[in-house]
A and B are shown apart, each in its own frame.
Chain A
Amino acid sequence: MSAAPRAATPAAEPLLSSRRRERGLPARVAAGAPPYLLVLPTLVVLVGVLAYPLYWLGRISFEHYGLAELIARKGTWTGLDNYRHMLGDAEFWRIVARTIAFTVVNVGLTMLFATLIALLLVRMGTIVRGAVLVGLVWVWATPVTVAIAVWQWMVDFEFGVLNWTLTKLHVVDLIHYNWFDNPWTGFAVITAVVVWGAIPFAAITIYAGFSQVPQELVEAAEVDGASAWEVFWRVTFPLVKPIFVIVTSLSIIWDFQVFNQIWIMLEFRPSPDYYLLGVYSFVESFRVSQYGLGAAIAVVMVVLMLGVSFVYVRQMVRISEADA
């Protein structure tokens, strides 16, 4: 740490650079070291919280790792057994298909509603916009567990507010109606909770993008006789497309690993109809003590997510290059 102030003194700079040519390898390494030293702490943290657990996840996925192994902290190598078992299980493929379908529906709905709300925000007066933004931030700030508890009461079997209201309004008779008896209505509720929670971030980010679109372009298009849809599709959307790419890929990453909304909503005991990949991996690991198999499922999730993250990171790099 004591080296940093010296390197940062501008007066010393010309002197150092004139000498640089004469110095040997060790000295050059020393001169190039400060940037690396500065990244080192971050690197240590990343290795500690990401690389190390990932290494263990990968390793356990090739091992027989049950409760006895967990306590002894030592598994037995079984090669690809866990993967073979997993890929040969029809249940696994059903869950993969369900997870993908769930992600598509949730991301689609999130993006649709978020875009519509963002478009509304652009056209609102200051006070109304402020009110809507505050509402969105409130939803955003609600801890997931609290939000789920609130939604649970909405659709509760005995005392559900939603059931009661719909029954009183004579829409449908929902006295003693269990939304989760049927996986379709059950997933409708879970989708509502997930989308509801995801909209604020997406809407505010897209709105931020929209507000950066130069007004002259929009006006010029309107003067040229473009309809509202054409203005959106040919002027606004192409300009904010990078933001859409980022928000969509982030939503895919989040929705693909939905866990809490299902786990807590179904009181820590979801029936297999409600398993998504994340829940399945947890059940195999922590409920059935087959940590090896659970790890293999998690590895598959990580690999699938790497693909989506690639799109996201590439877009981020492009943006920072464009800024620079």
Chain B
Amino acid sequence: MKFRYVVAAALAVAVAAGAPTAGARTDGDAASSTLTVWLMTDAQGGAWADVVSAANRQFESAHPGIEVDVQIQTWGDHLTKLDAALAGGRAPDVVELGNTETTKYMAAGALANITGNRGSFPNSRTWLQALTQSCTYQGRLFCVPYYAGARAVIYRRDHWRQAGLRKAPASLDAFVNAGKRLMRLKRSDRNYSALYFPGKYWYAAMSFVYDYGGAIARFRNGRWVGTLDSQFALRGLRKWKETARALSRANRSGTEATQWTVFSQGRVGATISNGWEWGLIIDPENGNPRLNLGAFPMPSHTKGKFMPTFLGGSDLAIPATSGNRALALDWIRTFTSNGNMRTLTSAAGVIPNTTSLAGVNASKPQLAPFAQAAKASWFVPTAPNWANVENAQVLQNMLSSILTGRSTVEAASRRASTQITQILNAR
């Protein structure tokens, strides 16, 4: 109540004074001296943060008087924030988008068309094909590839050796059987997971679907159709359920968001992880440097092959509403320079945005398996509405209802497919 009086009083004063100055905006000056950049939490710590601040220093020395304001966002709600900022005309000048999120924004006209600037970006001739595709809509370029990530199994060598696994397993069954032996060996620890697999970890679960020849959705006769209830997808989902139930005691309604924390506490034999999680698991401050880790690509149910991994990644885009397009372009050029990308690749363990740097981590045992895994990959349906499927948590909800036993595989996948068909075809 008091607040309302204060506002009323303030307004009364403003009205009495005629308040002509309230309309005079000084944004023009403010906007040109600050460049606002939204990056995701991954860039918040360690070697990654060092690359960001190095790029900012380079940029600021090339543009005296301009300050770069990097605002760190979380994956959970950054799109909600971006939508609100776009609607309010206060969007950042540069925004990081996941490669599954870009299509929706390109189709809605939210991003600046930078086709004409393509040649001016470092390594643009050798950009990763998959990321470049995620930046292209109707033949035009709307963002710049930033980095990619592929998932592989990170495991405790000492634990799995006890279960008889001395090298990368040749098939999914060999892996699951060794995991079952490991669970029996560790049966006295009721918190132990041979393969820690949270219920809502859809990137890893969908790999089973694609391994058995299924898909999330397919484009048929001019419209999208959810296909998680197809025979192939069902086979993959059943195998996933069996694997997670047998090897994991992770939260069946939980996410993979902090799985490295659980790993570093010692009651986990393996996780399906991105390359950079290795460093987090053995981080001297927040992790456990004594763990004896190894990595291999997740094996396929077909002997000798790898299970397709989700090729994740991020792109850097300029919202169409930004008044600082030239500066934003230049910041992106600086940030994705060959030198900065090389540091990011070797120090943070990402897959670089250019094939010309693919060799940087080839000889590192803790990073090579991830690059190897990336050779067999799957990607989400490239429908403009795909981000809405992610936002509505359709896959996560399906997976956790299967794993907790609230629904059968058949019923849950049918429901999810109907939902996906509906969302992808919504106008």
Contact = CB atoms under 8 A, between A and B. Distances in A.
Contacts of A267: 76, 255
Nearest to A272: B397
A181 B190 contact: no
A105 B4 CA distance: 33
A41 B251 contact: no
Nearest to B393: A269
Contacts of A40: 12, 15
Contact of B87 (A70, A175, A288): A70
Interface stretch (B103-111, B153-161, B166-174): B103-111
Given A267-B255, A283-B392, A289 B397 contact: no
A157 interface: yes
Contact of A269 (B16, B108, B200, B249): B200
Contact of B191 (A1, A64, A67, A176): A176
Nearest to B10: A41
B108 A41 contact: no
Interface stretch (B43-51, B215-223, B322-330, B399-407): B399-407
Given A42-B4, A176-B191, A71 B254 contact: no
A56 to B, nearest CB: 11
B201 to A, nearest CB: 13
Nearest to B13: A1
A268 B77 contact: yes
B393 A71 contact: no
A182 B401 CA distance: 10
Contact of A175 (B107, B109, B190, B388): B190
A41 B83 contact: no
Contacts of B109: 68, 71-72
Contact of A44 (B15, B77, B191, B401): B15
A62 interface: no
Given A68-B108, A272-B397, A158 B251 contact: yes
A259 to B, nearest CB: 13
Interface of B: 4, 7-9, 11-12, 15-16, 76-77, 80, 83-84, 86-87, 104-105, 107-110, 190-191, 200, 249, 251-255, 262, 320-321, 388, 391-393, 396-397, 400-401, 404, 406, 423, 426-427
Interface of A: 1, 40-42, 44-45, 64, 66-68, 70-73, 157-158, 175-176, 178, 180-182, 267-269, 271-272, 283, 286-290
The 8 closest A-B pairs by CB, nearest first: A287-B391, A68-B108, A67-B108, A41-B12, A157-B251, A41-B8, A1-B16, A41-B11
